[in-house]
Structure 1
Amino acid sequence: MSVVERNNVRLLGPETAPALVFSHGFGCDQNMWRFVAPRFADDHRVVLFDHVGAGNSDLAAYNPQRYSTLSGYAEDLLEILRALDLRGVVFVGHSVSSMIGLLASIAEPDRFSKLVLVGPSPRYVDDEGYYGGFSAGEIDELLDSLDSNYLGWSAAMAPVIMGNAERPELGEELTNSFCRTDPAIARQFAEVTFRSDNRADLGKVTVPTLILQCSEDVIAPREVGAYTNANIPGSRLLVLDATGHCPNLSAPDETYEAISAFLRTG
């Protein structure tokens, strides 16, 4: 199976236009970008894909050892760019995909021209002198809950992650997305995500970077956005009016405008 098939790569827009790559977060798939990505297809080569284990990717390609760290996912991203012969792409990553794209850009910086990190977190667990939003015990409880009742965890956590309680249909969509994911794969991806620590990698980024931070986000609070901004050289931080952790769904117009403005800068 080719890389394109393995990751269910979908291409929109002119073949020779500058490439814009969208990457989804934990428990999601490329469909989460449906209100934002197609709007760039008039003048960009839009690349959408599913991480192995998510969406319509090839589940048989899932290897627990390869995907025991975010580096495995970063290598997948680079394999996609190599297969499509893309360089100088603008990468837009949501949540954990922010760090996946960041790692890929460090490994092969010539493949990237800009990064857009939507709700990024280099470390979710609090540490001495660092606020990540979760204690180590809370992450343990989260993972234990995943083990014992994945569907129940999905139903309880998805609306919290999404925020926007006045729009329950958004939380329901995220719940359904979580529930379509293989529980064993989701459990390992959750552990890799929530126990990751990429703080030391932030200073290695060499391409222009925009950080999109929601005004209220329980997964990536504003302190985390500020820390990420302070530690990626030359990065810009934009705090959106949007709330919750998925502005690509809850505030697609604002998300689109923020990315568009960044594309227009030098």
Structure 2
Amino acid sequence: MDVRARNNVRVVGSADGPTLMLAHGFGCDQNLWRLVVPLLEARFRIVLFDHVGAGSSHPDAWDNARYSTLQQYADDVLDIVRELELADVVFVGHSVASMIGVLAAAADPGAFRGLVLLTPSPRYIDDGDYRGGFSRHDIDELLESMESNYLGWASAMAPTIMGTPDRPELGDELTDSFCRTEPTRALAFARTTFLSDNRADLARVTVPTLVIECSEDTLAPREVGAYVRDQIAGSELVTLEATGHCPHLSVPEPTATAIAGFADRV
């Protein structure tokens, strides 16, 4: 299948500028970057795409078995890089897509000039001294709730994940994004997301890396941002004064400034 059609690839912005590749997180699609793109497109060539199973990706590309691990999503990223003949890419991954970027850069570091990990988490489940923010029981309950009533789960959880009760329209937008995702595929991606453990993969990253966290985040507590920084040699950590897990929607200007500043330095 054609890679561009499979992942609904779009390229916008400056044809001669450095390349930013923006990868969305669980339950989202490339439209969730809509507030950041106008702040970056005058200076950067921006590659947008939908993960298979999300947004306007080709429905025939989905396969439950293939997409049961994050490595397949990382392989898709590398396919896009090769198909578009991209070089010196700064990959910007939100949430679970940050770990997809980690896997892609570990597999082919020469394709990337840098990584921006936006509200990342290498493991959501607590493990000994590691605090991911959730117990295994918490995650099992979350997945069971999704399986029994996905639309109800989306309506209840999206505003909490967004974390902006004073701006309910943002929670509504994330709810709508969740609800556009086909439920069985959303559940499969959720299992892959919330049950993965990519802590050991962080040490495989050899390209410059920026970690961006929010001051309050229900999915990725502050300890996670510090952990990711400490595990990726030479990486930087920026904390945005923002609540929630989606700063590209809630505080697009500081998010775009952090991304652009890093891309200019590497």
- TM-score of the two chains, using structure 1 as the length reference: 0.98
Match of 1:237 in 2: 237
Q: Does 1:126 align with 2:126?
A: yes
1:4 aligns with 2:12: no
- Aligned amino acid, residue 68 of structure 2: S
- Residue type of the partner of 1:138? D
> Could you tell me which residue of structure 1 aligns to residue 207 of structure 2?
207
CA RMSD after TM alignment: 0.9
Report the Cα distance in structure 2 between the residues aligned to 1:44 and 1:175, rounded to whole angstroms. Answer: 30
Contact 1:35 1:249 in 2 (8 A): yes
Are 1:41 and 2:41 counterparts? yes
Tell me the residue number matched to 1:89.
Answer: 89
Structure 1 portions without partners, runs of 5+: none
Tell me if structure 2 keeps the 8 A contact 1:28–1:178.
Answer: yes
CA distance in 2, matches of 1:114, 1:166: 34
Segments of structure 2 that go 5 or more residues without pairing to the other structure are none
SS in 2 for 1:21: strand
TM-score for the superposition, normalised by structure 2: 0.98
- Work out the CA distance in 2 between the residues paired with 1:246 and 1:209: 19
Counterpart for residue 26 of structure 2: 26
Is the contact made by 2:6 and 2:52 (CA closer than 8 Å) also made in structure 1?
yes
Structure 1: distance between partners of 2:264 and 2:14: 18
Deviates more, 1:9-18 or 1:148-157: 9-18
Letter in 1 for 2:72: G
Residues 96 and 121 in structure 1, CA contact (< 8 A), matched pair in contact too = yes
Q: Who is 1:104 aligned against?
A: 104
What is the CA–CA distance in structure 2 between the aligned matches of 1:84 and 1:183, rounded to whole Å?
31
Deviation of residue 13 (structure 1)?
2.2
Matched, 1:264 2:261: no
For 1:245 and 1:180, how far apart are their aligned partners in 2? 19
Contact 1:151 1:179 in 2 (8 A): yes
Q: 1:38, 1:46 within 8 Å by CA — same for their partners in 2?
A: no
Question: Distance in 1 between the 2:40 and 2:159 partners?
Answer: 28
Question: Deviations along 1:69-117, whole A, 9 cap, x unmatched?
Answer: 0001000000000000012100000000000011000000011001000
Distance 2:231 2:198 in 1: 11
Aligned residue for 1:63? 63
Separation in 2, partners of 1:232, 1:201? 9
CA distance in 1, matches of 2:192, 2:111: 25
Query: Distance between the aligned counterparts of 1:56 and 1:242, measured in 2?
Result: 29
Aligned length: 266
Q: Does 1:145 align with 2:135?
A: no
CA distance in 2, matches of 1:263, 1:88: 10
Alpha-carbon distance in structure 1 between the residues aligned to 2:215 and 2:57: 32
Q: Please, which moves more after superposition, 70-79 or 11-20?
A: 11-20
Q: Matched residues in 1 for 2:174 and 2:117: separation?
A: 20
Provide the residue aligned with 1:163 in structure 2.
163
Render the CA deviation track for 1:217-253: whole Å, top value 9, x for unaligned: 0101100001111101000000100110000000001
SS at structure 2 position matched to 1:223: helix
Aligned partner letter, 1:127: D
Q: CA separation in 2, counterparts of 1:74 and 1:15?
A: 25
When residues 258 and 220 of structure 1 are mapped into structure 2, their CA distance, relative to the original with a 3 A threshold, is: same
Aligned partner letter, 1:57: S
CA distance in 2, matches of 1:45, 1:166: 34
Range 171-180 or range 40-49, more displaced? 40-49
**2:181 counterpart residue number:** 181
Amino acid at match of 2:45: R
Does 1:190 pair with 2:190? Answer: yes
Deviation at 1:19, TM superposition (A): 1.1
8 Å contact 2:39–2:253 — kept in the other structure? no
Deviations, residues 1-49 of structure 1 (Å, cap 9, x unaligned): 4100110001012334321100000000000001112322222211000
Counterpart residue identity of residue 164, structure 1: T
% identical equivalent positions: 60
